[in-house]
Amino acid sequence: MNPSSYENIFNVPELTNRLFFTVIMLAVFRLGAHIPTPGVDAHVLSQIFAQASGTVFGLFNMFSGNALSKFSIFSLGIMPYISAAIILELLTAVNPELARLKKSGEEGRRKISTYTRYGTVVISFIQAVGISIGLQAMHGPGGAPVVIYSGVSFIILSSIILTTGTMILMWIGEQITERGIGNGISLIIFAGIVARVPAAFGNTFRLVSAGEMSALVVLIILILALAVIAFVIYVELAQRRVPIQYPRRMVGRRLYGGQSSYLPVKINVSGVIPPIFASSIILFPATLTTFLPIPAVRKIVDFFSPGSLVYSLVYIGLLFFFAYFYTAIVFNPKDVAENLKKNGGFIPGIRPGKTTADYLDWILTRLTFVGGIYLSLICILPWVLIKRFSVPFYFGGTALLIVVQVGLDTIMQIESHLFMRSYSGLLKKRKA
Question: 55-59, 74-78, 269-273: which range is least confident on average?
Answer: 55-59
Shared domain check, 383 and 234: yes
User: Is 207 a domain residue?
Assistant: no
Residues 45 and 169 in one domain: yes
Same domain, 169 and 260: no
Task: Find out whether 395 and 218 touch, Cβ atoms under 8 Å.
Answer: no
- Tell which wins on pLDDT, 51 or 341: 341
Are 225 and 346 within one domain? yes
Interior/surface letters 380-399, b for 16+ CB within 10 angstroms, e for the rest: bbbbebbeeeebbebbbbbb
Q: Which has the closest alpha carbon to 263: 336, 328, 326? A: 336
* Same domain assignment for residues 171 and 260: no
Residue type at 144?
A
Give the chain's count of helices (H) and strands (E): 18, 4
| Last residue in a domain, options 195, 227, 260 | 195
pLDDT at 52: 61
Counting the structural domains of the chain, the total is 2
Q: Could you tell me the CA-to-CA distances from 224 to 217, 219, 376, 383, 388 in Å, in that order? A: 10, 9, 17, 14, 15
* Residues 29 and 172: beta-carbon distance below 8 Å: yes
Query: Residue 429 falls within a domain, yes or no?
Result: no
- Average per-residue pLDDT in the chain? 80
CA distance linking residue 337 with residue 350, whole number of Å: 11
Cβ neighbours of residue 430 closer than 8 Å, sequence gap 6 or more: none
**265 and 141 within one domain:** no
Tell which of 139, 163, 195 closes a domain: 195
User: Does 262 map to a domain?
Assistant: yes
Cβ-contact 88, 119 below 8 angstroms: yes
Residues β-bridged to residue 161? none
What's the CA gap between 46 and 69, in Å, rounded? 6
Q: Which strand (E) or helix (H) includes residue 80?
A: helix 79-94
Contact in structure between 220 and 389 (CB atoms under 8 Å): no
* Domain extent for 59: 1-195
User: Based on the domain organization, do 105 and 246 belong to the same domain?
Assistant: no
**Which pLDDT belongs to residue 421?**
67
Q: Which amino acid is at 302?
A: D
Same domain, 184 and 235: no
Fill in the amino acid letter for 108.
Answer: G
Residue 431 lies in a domain: no
Domain contains 420: no
Looking at residue 313, its amino acid is L
Distance CA 74, CA 163 (A): 9
Asked whether residue 77 falls in the same domain as residue 140, the answer is yes
Give the predicted TM-score (pTM) of the model.
0.79
CATH of the domain at 309: 1.10.3370.10
Separation between Cα atoms, residue 82 and residue 60, nearest integer Å: 12
Last residue of a domain, one of 147, 163, 195: 195
Alpha-carbon distance 25 to 302, whole Å? 42
Report the pLDDT value the prediction gives residue 163, as an integer from 0 to 100: 93
Q: Are residues 285 and 148 in the same domain?
A: no
In terms of domains, do 170 and 288 share one? Answer: no
Confidence of residue 96 (pLDDT cuts 50, 70, 90): confident
Task: Measure the CA–CA gap between 184 and 173, rounded to whole angstroms.
Answer: 4
Which residues are within 8 A (CB) of 183 and not within 5 positions of it... i.e. 6 or more apart?
A: 173, 176, 177, 406, 409
pLDDT tens, residue by residue, 266-279 = 888 888 888 878 87
Q: Is the domain of 141 the same as that of 228? A: no
Taking alpha carbons only, the member of 352, 278, 348 closest to residue 315 is 278
In a domain, 136, yes or no: yes
Model confidence at 251, in pLDDT bands (50, 70, 90)? low
The pLDDT value given to residue 426:
44
Q: Per mean pLDDT, which of 51-55, 191-195, 361-365 is the most reliable?
A: 361-365
> Is 90 exceeded by the pLDDT of residue 314?
no
